[in-house]
Every structure is written in structure tokens, then in C-alpha cells.
Amino acid sequence: MNRYRIAAIGGDGIGPEVIEAGLEVLDALAARSGTFRLEVERFDWGSARYRREGALMPEGGLERLKSFDAIYFGAVGAPDIPDHITLWGLRLPICQGLDQYANVRPARLLPGVKSPLAGVGPEDLDWVIVRENSEGEYAGQGGRTHRGYPEEVATEVAIFTRRGVERIMRFAFSLARSRPRKHLTVVTKSNAQRHGMVLWDEVAAEVARDFPDVSWDKELVDAMTARMVRRPASIDVVVATNLHADILSDLAAALAGSLGIAPTANLDPERRFPSMFEPIHGSAFDITGKGIANPVGSFWSAAMMLDHLGEKEAARRLMGAIESALAAGVLTPDLGGKATTGDVTRAVIDALGGRNAPGGA
């Protein structure tokens, strides 16, 4: 029996609702598969803690996380606290502090879910966006001087290092290699941004030589948005900077039916530190507490977590159960249905099937 220690951070808004739903599903899956167990510790980190104690995460929080096998994260952000405070108070310190440099965002048209793009079916939209997650536009470099005066200046410096670009490029090429189509699109803005983005292009060409079996092309980020809409089937794996991929992944999620479905893995591919798994949607205060948040993004993220932990069979089983619940029409309002978070959770648990243990059904 494999045991994994999971740190669960529900965070803000609908985060705790979808994480609890995910833990319920994981519990059922573990019980039925009989091959692994999860020991879950919950952390109440987030905006409520910030209001109470002045920090989203306690001192030494990062150190505590290091002893876990994975982190299961909901969302962070609150209407009464500036977003840059919540982001830099919890999620970014974890991603950057644990060097989770590869952010992986699959977008796939699941059964029962319709794309807003006319005539686009599941075979046309099966992408993985790889987002550089440790530097770039989110490096936090810059500053403000002469605050409040007419001559106030602010700089927001994007940082691109050869090491940072090379490792994300290698990760993206290997991921592309593992997929049937073996195709990678490298996204930049190297016409207008002539330093960091040109470095991306150069490093891509260098790394590509080590992956002769992977085909690749380049696209400028603005053209990429059009290509995603007009020629979705031409895309397989995409690699882009922190900010570009942030934007492209929202577009991808919307084209694949709903932001409520999309999952994310923040990976330390070298496995020095725990990786973090979270739905891509935010805290969604407009629907918090109503019981209608779509838990599918959280479930899919849980499947990515199992996959990363090495529980490939359990991950496949969970994905299968998610797909059959959706195909049966158990859809939350964001997908045009009337189901609640609880309805979807029960439908997925039912679809997991019976016990695997010898003598089981």
C-alpha cells in the first residue's frame, strides 16, 4: 500500500468547497482501489487568516509544506484585499519557493461539454499549455518611486534566464514527445520584445536538436490567440512565458467549455519539492457558498496529482469517472446545467465503480 501525505489548502471563495469535494472523491477512490492511501492535512491559509493575523501563510509555512508529497490547492483572492497581496502572500511564494517551474494546463473538450467554437469536437481540441512558472513577467522585479507625484515612475521588469528558459523548453519538448502527435508550438513576442523573447527563440532551436522526433513551430502570442480559435486542431503542446501562458490558458479553458473544468499542475519536475495541483478558476466570490461551484477543475487537478505521484491507474480511473458523469449530463450552471457541487461529486463517486480488492465487485 502506497501512502502519500497531502497538504490541502482550500484558500478563499469557492476554493474550500471544491477542495473538500475533491478530497471526498479521492477518499472514495483510495478505498475502492485499495492500492494507495492519502494522509491529508488541512491548512486554513488564505484571506481570512490575513484579516485575523496579518499574513495569509504563517512564518515557516513553506518549510512545513516541504515534508508533504503534494499540495492540493483551491483558490486565493478576496474582494476586500488587493489581488497582488493575496497572490504574493500565498500562491506565488509556494510556486517560487518550491521551484515549481513547470505549470501544466491541459485543455480538452470533455464529453457532454460544448465548445463555443462552432463545429469543433473533442478530436480538434486536445492541448496542453506549458507555462513557465518561476520567472518572466512574474519575477517580481521592479519598483515605484516618487509615489503620488506627477513624476512617479514604475517599472515591471520581466526576467528571462538561459537556465530558466532551457529547463521549461526541455520539459515542454519531453511532454510533447510523450503525446501521440509529438508537436510543440513555442509562443513568444520576439518581434516586439527583442531581448528576452529572442533568447526564448534561440534556446528553443537549441533544445529542439535534442528532440528530433518532436516537430515544432513558432507563433507570436497575438497570432496564437487567432490560431486557437481558427485552427484548434493544429495545436498539441504549447510552451509560453508566465504571462503569455496565463492569458492563453484562460482562452483555452473557455474554448474547451468552461473555466470551471480546467486543471493545473505546478510541477517541480526534478521532485526536490512537493508539486501543487489546483483548479485554474479563481475564488469566484459571486457564487461562493451557493453550492453550485463546478468541482470538475478540482477533480481533474486531483487526477493530475495522482498521476504525478505515480498512481497512474487511479488517475485514469478518476478521469474516466469525471467523463462519464459529464457525459450523463450532470452539469453545473457554468456548463448550462442545474447540478450542484454535491450532485457532481456523487455522480463522479458513483461512476468510479466497485472495489478492486480481491473478491470485490
Contacts with Mg ion by CB under 5 A lie at 246
For ligand IPM, the closer of residues 104 and 204 by Cβ is 104
Residues in contact with ligand IPM, shown as a per-residue x/- string from 23 to 62 under the rule CB under 6 A:
----------------------------------------
Residue with cell 511532454: 175
The 3 state secondary structure assigned to 172-196 is HHHHHHCCCCCEEEEEECCCCCCCH
Annotation marks residue 343 as catalytic: no
Q: CA 123, 304, 130, 203 torsion: positive or negative?
A: negative
Annotation marks residue 4 as catalytic: no
- Using CB atoms, what's the residue nearest to Mg ion? 246
Site for ligand IPM in 154-183 (CB under 6 A): none
Annotation marks residue 286 as catalytic: no
Residues in contact with ligand IPM, shown as a per-residue x/- string from 77 to 96 under the rule CB under 6 A:
x---------x---------
Minimum CB distance to Mg ion, residue 107 (Å): 13
Q: Reduce the DSSP state of residue 108 to 3 states and report it.
A: strand
| Residues 6+ away with beta carbon under 8 Å from 34 | 1, 355, 356, 357, 360
Residue 339 interacting entry, from ligand IPM, Mg ion, none, C-beta within 5 to 8 Å by type: none
CA distance 164 to 169: 9
Element (H, E) at 78: none
| Residue of 274, 261, 334 whose CA lies nearest to 303 | 261
Cell of residue 95, nine digits: 510556486
The only residue of 17, 132, 135, 246 in contact with ligand IPM, by rule CB under 6 A: 246
Annotation marks residue 72 as catalytic: no
Site for ligand IPM in 273-302 (CB under 6 A): 280, 282
Q: Looking at the annotation, which residues are catalytic?
A: 138, 189, 222, 246, 250
Contacts with ligand IPM by CB under 6 A lie at 77, 87, 246, 280, 282
